[in-house]
Amino acid sequence: MTLLTFRFAPSPNGELHLGHAYSALLNQKLAWATGGRLLLRIEDIDTTRCTPEFEAGIFRDLKWLGLGWEEPVRRQSEHFADYQAVLDRLIREELVYPAFMSRGEIRAFIADSEKRGRDWPRDPDGVPLYPAVDKALPTRQRMRLIAENAPFAWRLDVGAAMARVGTDLSWLEFSDERLSATRTVDARPQDWGDVIVARREIPTSYHLAVVVDDALQGVSHVVRGQDLYSATGVQRLLQEILGLPQPSYFHHRLVLGPDGRKLSKSLGDTGLAALREAGASPADVRRLIGIYFLDTVVLTGQRPSTAPFSGQSHWQIANLED
């Protein structure tokens, strides 16, 4: 019998906050409830921002919360050879191309187009799509630029990839935290344009690494935040062209701050370490984010009290987006 496999995959580029606690504990709860496995993956391909200190903090916070996972922990930075092999395949099959435009050149190109009355398309996050003028470069010119060490990124030729698939894409999305029912969601990778799948100095990107890792680790259920819902379309396209298995997905609600925005490492939102130092216990964190285990919500459908912990007067309880 194949066990259901869940994973929690933080990046060590900042301190974990309540949003991470919600996702980690929800994955643990679902693994326990289904008799499945929980894996921990460290997504540290961004070598400029990820540090050993932040990784050590992740382990401290998760152990404090009572999270357990199967060993070994997979660190993406230790598996660049896996990603390089997949990237080489995409290059051979002409499903990616080297893109040489800098951010400034991209902005100037789009600004010029908009001055001439063209509304430039944007992805679901509101970011302008890549102009993709590099697709027209002759092979000889591409090779010359690469040989001259020109900065570039490998971008997925979404049009070519969609043509290769030749069929509509979709994924199975669970409707609630109990994983009691699924619905089929149409995948629209074209909404993101030609996304980056690797860089000159790093042979992967978030999208490429995550689909490779999920396949190699046998992940059957991807449980993560709603902010990654639309991006699933890109990952489904990569899974399809690479012949990788398709997990089922559940994109859970987000933990929001008192001002209604998503918690963020970069904006300095209250981390788990700071809550611990302020006197919070793991049980306090579970109450704040609404994660309880088999003896509460799963069996009774009722939520226990969300009374604040002692010493909590200097910050507000985060809200959960319905």
In a domain, 242, yes or no: yes
| pLDDT for res 282 | 94
What residue numbers bound the domain in which 254 lies? 5-100+137-320
Domain count, the chain: 1
- For the segment 185-233, what is each residue's pLDDT rounded down to a tens digit? 999 999 999 999 999 999 999 999 999 999 999 999 999 999 999 999 9
The DSSP element (H or E) to which 223 belongs, if any, is strand 221-225
CB 100 within 8 A of CB 132: no
- CATH number of residue 229's parent domain: 3.40.50.620
Mean pLDDT of 51-63: 97
d(CA 316, CA 266): 19
Whether 110 is in a domain gets the answer: no
For the chain, how many residues are written? 322
Q: How open is the CA angle 195-199-205, to the nearest 5 degrees?
A: 55
Q: Does any domain span residue 114?
A: no
Residue 180's pLDDT is 84
Other Cβ atoms within 10 Å of 282 Cβ, number: 17
* Residue 56 belongs to a domain: yes
Kindly state whether residue 60 falls inside one of the protein's structural domains.
yes
Q: Is residue 182 assigned to a domain?
A: yes
Is the residue at 121 inside a domain?
no
Predicted TM-score (pTM) of the model is 0.88
- Among 192, 249, 260, CA closest to 224: 249
The least confident of 33-37, 117-121, 311-315 is 311-315
pLDDT digits 0-9 by tens, 270-292: 789 999 998 999 999 998 888 86
Q: Does residue 131 fall inside a structural domain?
A: no
